[in-house]
Structure 1
Amino acid sequence: MSTRRKKAAGKSSKKSSRTNLREQDMEHIRDGMAVSSSVPRTAGLRERGSLENGEDDLEMSLLSEDDRRQAALGAPQDEEGNAPGPTKPMSAEDKRSMALLCVLYLIQGVPLGLALGSVPFLLKDHLSYSQLGTFSLSSYPYSLKLLWSPIVDAVFIPSVGRRKSWIVPMQMIVGTLMLYISLNVQRLLDDPADHVGELTFVWTALVFLSATQDIAVDGWALTLLSHDSLSYASTCQTIGLNTGYFASFTVFLAFNSEEFVNKWGLPHLTLSGYLKFWSVVCYLVTTWLLFFKKEDKEVATEADMSISGVYKTIWDICKLKHVQQLIFLHFFAKLGFAANEAATSLKMVEKGFKREDLAVAVLIDFPFQMIGGWYAAKWSRGNTPLKPWIIAYWPRLFFCLVATLTVFYFPEPPISGTFFVFLIFSTVFGSLASTVQFVGISAFHTRVSDPLIGGTYMTLLNTFTNLGGTWPKYFVLKGIDMLSVSSCRVDDLSVEAVECVSDHGKAHCADIGGQCVTETDGYYTLSALCMTFGVIFLIAYIIPTARRLQALPTHVWRIKL
């Protein structure tokens, strides 16, 4: 029966025909093919014989005649197979839910800003790039949370709530761990070279707890917001995470600098005091959430399965051909920016750029990111949510090149006001491109994720986009030391036996009264390699693949539970 005949039929005949179609589909569809878990399949499936002609037509074989036509034209559909209608004004309930999501994402952004931002800057003067690479492993749990997300999705206390069962304890432990670190931070930072292992362990634990909270918050966002406002889930994540991240990175570094606070007459902020403050905030927000925020009970569905069942669901999702293409895209999409994101800021500080000046530059950038995130979310609400993500790729690569050249031509300090304005300009526009990409890809993930397994599905997709930005960082920081050539000079004579790349070599050079001179900086080599790969991969794979994926209707991303 065609789609037109189904529309013309009465309500009762529509229900009957869909039931019959569902039974017929089960006879003709092999295991592993995508079937909607929440809505009935549309009519017009190809015969079994034509499905066996090749996997390349998998997505199109799942669509009706009208579906294929709309997909070919690049017009995505809603879950019922219809073109999306006009958007409705946001309700007061959605606005309250957005405020809650912003606060929850803020709490996880604070430890991330410290682990990925401030702490590496505080350690830079005492550790080599290789040791910083070891510390960068602390960010990996945020990119590997898929490994335990099925447990978060499948195990919960009904009386507390499916998502609150995890959010409440995770935030309490995060607050407690931050309190512990605050009491021991001075001991760890006095001689960080001897405590690299312990520093990496405690911050890895903090990021792990925040990642677990994020799994539950991502899943809650899919049911907290109405269908029309789902694209704003990525806006909440942008606002919350960025606010927490910048508070722990730029704001903290500025107030932690004695020169900055003395210049402006502001109170000095220590890492210990900052951690204690956010520990108290975690306790207060979690207490309110536990006693004053009631989580709506989710309707019991087939998604309420065992942990092994959720892992099987993940595997079934990963077997979808278009999901595999998206995973491959995510795994390498950020490699073009890897050298810039891992080392550019550290290199500028090494060149003489003061940490507090860097903090001010990024602090000025903060409101632009918030505004950009909001408008990027509105842009991503249309039929092509990946369009802003693709477009923003070019300026982001361009500003990576600008950043590399800035490091190369960095003037002797103190820097002029004109150069500082230029740094602010490049920081704002580079970060804006990054924000647009983040919001665009998050909106796409929210749109295609099945709400029945929202925490798992969102985490699966977010895991690979996060991992794409995390896995290169360790190798970039290690590679800078490996590709760098630096020698020790004593009285204008080069001491061939002494290298000046490792901490041991630098210390030995200082002991004999020498000075390390860099002859080849591996940062520039790695930057060139990363950006070249980024351009090639963008043109050859990202653009055609992203356009094809966003043209698919929503229900082909769902599986039969």
Structure 2
Amino acid sequence: MSYRSRKKPWGGGGNRKGSLEEGERKLLSEEPHTHGTNQHHRHKKHKSDLDGDRGNIAILFLLYLLQGVPLGLCAAIPMLLQNKHVTYKDQASFSFTTWPFSLKLLWAPIVDSLYNSRIGRRKTWLIPTQYLIGIFMLVLSYYINDWLEQGTPNIPFLTFVFFCLNFLAATQDIAVDGWALTMLKRVNVAHASTCNSVGQTAGYFLGYVVFMAFDSADFCNYFRSEPLTTGMLNLPGFLFFWGITFLVVTSLVALFKHERPADKSSVTHSDPDLNIVDSYKLLGSILKLPSIQKFALVLLTCKIGFSASDAITSLKLIEAGVPKEKFAIMAVPLVPLQIVLPLLLSKYTVGARPMDIYIRAIPYRLAFNFLGAFFVLITPYFLSSPSSPHTLPSYYYLILLVSFCLHQVSLYAMFVASMAFFARVADPGVGGTYMTLLNTLSNLGSNWPNTVALWLVDALTWKQCSGDESNACSDPALVSACEAGQGKCVTQLDGYYIEILLCSVIGYLWLFWGKRTIHHLQSRSSSAWQVSRVAVS
């Protein structure tokens, strides 16, 4: 399963785990290299046979869809907060809710190793986890307005609650990923990744785009004979519906879907069967490899240059006047592009040097730092024009959408190249663990710079109250004091633009170092990436 913010225009990209794709690679790698009729027989053997698995595919799709809904909601909350006078430090605090999907490697061995055989290896974790998600959503539906709508939003408590929700979703992800490889027949395991991608995308779409659109009165009025001031959906009702859905689906799975014992026809054997202690020892052995240590440094620092753009630009556009529901709807035409791009780019990442495309994409992605900042700068001028004093013209959205599409090309070029390199260097003897570790490092390389970038915006911003020069409007209390005195907080220097400049400079300097480092890593032999057989025996 992959948690990623790619559906959110101008959002950070690339939080993916890749375990299912690795499972497919392991399946194919198990077959001996043959030629002629044997090769034909091998391809015939791996031909998909959906008889008896159509229902399993539907169940997997539904489980991944449910997983995507809380992720979409966690992407929608910052949009709702942005118009409630919260600080960017508050947004930085809430961004920690995305971290569980980057840290789940820490408890994945526990989920894989501890279970009740009578209940089932995966259902032991899946059933209670999904029940807890449903209960969380039901409780949230009764109290979310108190924490979000009335007065100042309770950011620490919202962060804690949605962090727990994402932690449960990440745990459910571990269980579903593992179950996917045994639920389907061996020849159909490849369909698990499709269920993953399409299901999570659909769930994210429902939790983010659909909710944001139908929560908006302006959008809903297009479907009404008489305009109203409220949308067709509200957050409490949306949470209540999905809470009930989680409980119902989980009960049906618990009662009617049984795990079949793992056998040679349904599972892969590239990873050794390890207990909890051995699993953590294996992770330690991988991290001791010099090649991994250097590559970890690359993955943990390569996205610093994009952090201001990825984390802040979308919020700044909403602050500048772009309606949040229209911003969310702009993600719709990006979905087909996000499906097609990996297919188009994959042919350029085959071979021994897939990271060459990664390096070439970096300057283009850095250029979008300045393009995003330019849109933030000019948006108020479009809103204040005589022809459209309160709305943005259609051509503005069209240009912005084209920019989003171009941004996705550079983002996906880096993602597809990195995934191809992961698959090339991963030790096949411990492939799943190896791939998960690399994706965890990549995810952390996105999360920590984005959180820091959000945290620093307010510190780098200089404001002053128009009615009181001693008031720097540095926190909500001072802003309220300024407004109470009939003043207005005027931004003299926006920290966002400072961060865009600093991140861009860091990004180009990193490219000078990273280009040589990546070329060196690509030239290393496969033995430099392999774990000692003793460590995994």
Query: TM-score scaled to structure 2, two decimals?
Result: 0.78
Percent identity for Structure 1 against Structure 2? 35
The alpha-carbon deviation at position 476 of structure 1 amounts to 1.0
Are the equivalent residues in 2 in contact too, given 1:449–1:558 (CA < 8 A)?
Answer: no
Alpha-carbon distance in 2 for matches of 1:175, 1:246: 19
User: 1:519-538 residue pairs with structure 2 within 5 A?
Assistant: 519-538=492-511
CA change 1:239–1:443 in 2 (3 A) is: farther
Q: What residue in structure 2 maps to residue 154 of structure 1?
A: 113
Alpha-carbon distance in 2 for matches of 1:378, 1:137: 35
Kindly provide the amino acid, as one letter, of the partner of residue 91 in structure 1. Answer: S
CA change 1:541–1:457 in 2 (3 A) is: same
The answer on 1:142 being equivalent to 2:101 is yes
Are the equivalent residues in 2 in contact too, given 1:230–1:446 (CA < 8 A)?
Answer: no
Q: What residue in structure 1 maps to residue 366 of structure 2?
A: 397
SS of residue in 1 equivalent to 2:262: coil
Kindly provide the amino acid, as one letter, of the partner of residue 427 in structure 1. Answer: F
The answer on 1:485 being equivalent to 2:442 is no
Alpha-carbon distance in 2 for matches of 1:216, 1:129: 35
CA change 1:446–1:506 in 2 (3 A) is: same
User: 1:198-217 residue pairs with structure 2 within 5 A?
Assistant: 198-217=157-176
SS of residue in 1 equivalent to 2:503: helix
Corresponding residue to 1:123 among 68, 81, 86: 81
Kindly provide the amino acid, as one letter, of the partner of residue 499 in structure 1. Answer: A
Kindly provide the amino acid, as one letter, of the partner of residue 312 in structure 1. Answer: K
Q: What residue in structure 1 maps to residue 22 of structure 2?
A: none
Corresponding residue to 1:283 among 239, 244, 247: 247
Corresponding residue to 2:217 among 258, 263, 288: 258
The alpha-carbon deviation at position 518 of structure 1 amounts to 0.6
SS of residue in 2 equivalent to 1:426: helix
Kindly provide the amino acid, as one letter, of the partner of residue 275 in structure 1. Answer: L
Q: What residue in structure 1 maps to residue 328 of structure 2?
A: 359
Q: What residue in structure 2 maps to residue 292 of structure 1?
A: 257
Deviations 1:297-356 (A, max 9, x none): 156989333322211111111112222233222111222221112111110111111112
Q: What residue in structure 1 maps to residue 279 of structure 2?
A: 310
SS of residue in 1 equivalent to 2:333: helix
Kindly provide the amino acid, as one letter, of the partner of residue 294 in structure 1. Answer: E
Alpha-carbon distance in 2 for matches of 1:247, 1:547: 43
Alpha-carbon distance in 2 for matches of 1:508, 1:253: 32
Kindly provide the amino acid, as one letter, of the partner of residue 259 in structure 2. Answer: K
For structure 2, the residue ranges without an aligned partner over 5 or more in a row are: 1-27, 226-230, 384-390
Are the equivalent residues in 2 in contact too, given 1:150–1:456 (CA < 8 A)?
Answer: no
Greater Cα shift, 394-403 or 415-424: 394-403
CA change 1:459–1:152 in 2 (3 A) is: farther
Q: What residue in structure 1 maps to residue 479 of structure 2?
A: 506
Deviations 1:484-539 (A, max 9, x none): 0011103xxxx221012321221111011101111100101111222222233234
Are the equivalent residues in 2 in contact too, given 1:179–1:275 (CA < 8 A)?
Answer: yes
Alpha-carbon distance in 1 for matches of 2:260, 2:359: 36
The answer on 1:345 being equivalent to 2:345 is no
The alpha-carbon deviation at position 81 of structure 1 amounts to 10
The alpha-carbon deviation at position 205 of structure 1 amounts to 0.4
Are the equivalent residues in 2 in contact too, given 1:215–1:456 (CA < 8 A)?
Answer: no
Kindly provide the amino acid, as one letter, of the partner of residue 458 in structure 2. Answer: D
The answer on 1:463 being equivalent to 2:463 is no
Are the equivalent residues in 1 in contact too, given 2:466–2:487 (CA < 8 A)?
Answer: yes
Alpha-carbon distance in 2 for matches of 1:345, 1:242: 20
Kindly provide the amino acid, as one letter, of the partner of residue 305 in structure 1. Answer: L
The alpha-carbon deviation at position 467 of structure 1 amounts to 1.0
Alpha-carbon distance in 1 for matches of 2:523, 2:177: 21
Greater Cα shift, 232-241 or 266-275: 232-241
The alpha-carbon deviation at position 469 of structure 1 amounts to 1.0
Deviations 1:110-148 (A, max 9, x none): 212222x21011111221111222222222222222221
SS of residue in 1 equivalent to 2:233: coil
Q: How many residues align?
A: 480
Alpha-carbon distance in 1 for matches of 2:192, 2:415: 12
Alpha-carbon distance in 1 for matches of 2:199, 2:356: 24
SS of residue in 2 equivalent to 1:278: helix
Corresponding residue to 1:269 among 213, 233, 249: 233
Q: What residue in structure 1 maps to residue 16 of structure 2?
A: none
Are the equivalent residues in 2 in contact too, given 1:234–1:442 (CA < 8 A)?
Answer: no
Kindly provide the amino acid, as one letter, of the partner of residue 500 in structure 1. Answer: C
SS of residue in 2 equivalent to 1:497: coil
The answer on 1:175 being equivalent to 2:134 is yes
Are the equivalent residues in 1 in contact too, given 2:373–2:500 (CA < 8 A)?
Answer: yes
CA change 1:447–1:120 in 2 (3 A) is: same
For the pair shown, the structure with the greater C-alpha radius of gyration is: 1
Alpha-carbon distance in 2 for matches of 1:153, 1:378: 34
SS of residue in 2 equivalent to 1:499: coil
Alpha-carbon distance in 2 for matches of 1:111, 1:464: 23
For structure 1, the residue ranges without an aligned partner over 5 or more in a row are: 1-76
Alpha-carbon distance in 2 for matches of 1:192, 1:547: 55
Alpha-carbon distance in 2 for matches of 1:183, 1:167: 25
CA change 1:433–1:232 in 2 (3 A) is: farther
Root-mean-square deviation (CA, aligned residues, Å) is 3.7
Corresponding residue to 2:450 among 459, 473, 490: 473
The answer on 1:111 being equivalent to 2:70 is yes
The answer on 1:548 being equivalent to 2:512 is no
CA change 1:550–1:205 in 2 (3 A) is: farther
